[in-house]
Amino acid sequence: MIAIDGPSASGKGTVASRVAAQLGFHYLDSGALYRLTALGARRAGVHLPPVEHAIPPGLEQQLATHAAGLDVRFVGEQIFLAGEEVSLALRDEQTSREASRVAALGAVRAALLQRQRDFRVAPGLVTDGRDMATVVFPDAQVKIFLTASAEERAARRYKQLIGKGLTANIDDLLRDIHERDQRDASRALAPLVQDLRASLLDTTCLTADAAVEEVLRRYHASIDAPCN
C-alpha cells in the first residue's frame, strides 16, 4: 500500500498511476470521487450556494446521499458516471472548485470512506489524495507527501488543460490553486497535512519520470528495511 498525498496539481496523480502500472498494483484517484460527487450533484440539479455562503446542513445531507449512491466505474484512465464518460468534465475548473467545497463536508467524507478502502485489494494499491496517509489508509507501508511550488503547479495545470483542448488562463489557475490550497489545508476535517510518517517529495524541479523513480526507490527501500 503506497499512499501519496499533496496539494492540487502537484502531479501526484500522474506519479501514482505510473507507479501503480510499474508495480502491477491497482490505482485509486481519491480526488475523482469528490469531483464525481460535485459533478453528479450538479447534473442532478443540486446546486451549491455562492462561495461566500456556507453549505447548509440539509444540502450537506443531500450531497452525502449523492456521494453514497454514486454509480461510478473506473476503466483504465476513463471514468464513467451513470454509464457516461466524464473524464474530461471532471477536470474543468468549476468542478475542481466545487469538489474542494463538497470535500470539506463531514457527511460527504464519511459517505466516501468505505468506498475508498474497498479499493485495497491484492496485489497492492497506490492511491493519491489529501488524507490517504492520515485518515483513509493510516497503516500504509509507504507514505509520501508530494508537492511543488504553486507557480509550477499552475504551469502544469495550464499545459494539461491546453493539451486536452480546453481553454485556460494562467493567472486564474494560480489564484484557484492558492484558494484550493488554503481551503484544503485549513478545513477542520481531514485537512491537507503531511503525515508524521510521510516523507516529502518536492517535484518543482523534477520530471515526472524522476518522481516515479524516486517513489519506486522509496517503496523498494521500505521492503528492504521495513522499520525505517
User: Which residues are at the interface with ligand C5P (CB under 6 A)?
Assistant: 8, 30-31, 34-35, 99-100, 103, 129-132, 180, 184
Sheet of strand 26-29, all strands in order from the earlier edge strand to the far edge: 26-29, 125-129, 2-5, 142-147, 199-202
Of 23 and 132, the one with the shorter C-beta distance to ligand C5P is 132
Indicate the residue among 14 and 65 with the shorter CB distance to ligand C5P. 14
Nearer to ligand C5P, 17 or 30 (CB): 30
Q: Beta 26-29 vs 2-5: how paired, if at all? A: unpaired
Is 108 or 206 the residue whose CB approaches ligand C5P more closely?
108
Alpha carbon distance 159, 95 (integer Å):
18
In angstroms, give the least distance from the CB of 177 to ligand C5P: 10
Alpha helices in 3-145 (DSSP H): 12-23, 30-43, 57-68, 93-102, 106-117
User: What is the smallest separation between the CB atom of 225 and ligand C5P, expressed in angstroms?
Assistant: 28
| 108 versus 212: smaller Cβ distance to ligand C5P | 108
Nearer to ligand C5P, 40 or 129 (CB): 129
Does residue 114 contact residue 185 with C-beta atoms inside 8 Å? no
Q: Cα–Cα distance between 220 and 228 in angstroms, integer?
A: 12
Report residue 182 CA to chain centroid gap.
15
Handedness of CA 73, 114, 31, 94 (dihedral sign): positive
Residue 32 C-alpha cell reads as 475523482
Q: Quote the least distance from Cβ 57 to ligand C5P, whole Å.
A: 19
Residue 224 phi/psi, 5-degree rounding, is -70, -35
Nearest distance from C-beta of residue 28 to ligand C5P, angstroms: 9
Cβ-count burial 78-95 (b if 16+ within 10 Å, e if not): ebebeeeebbebbbbbeb
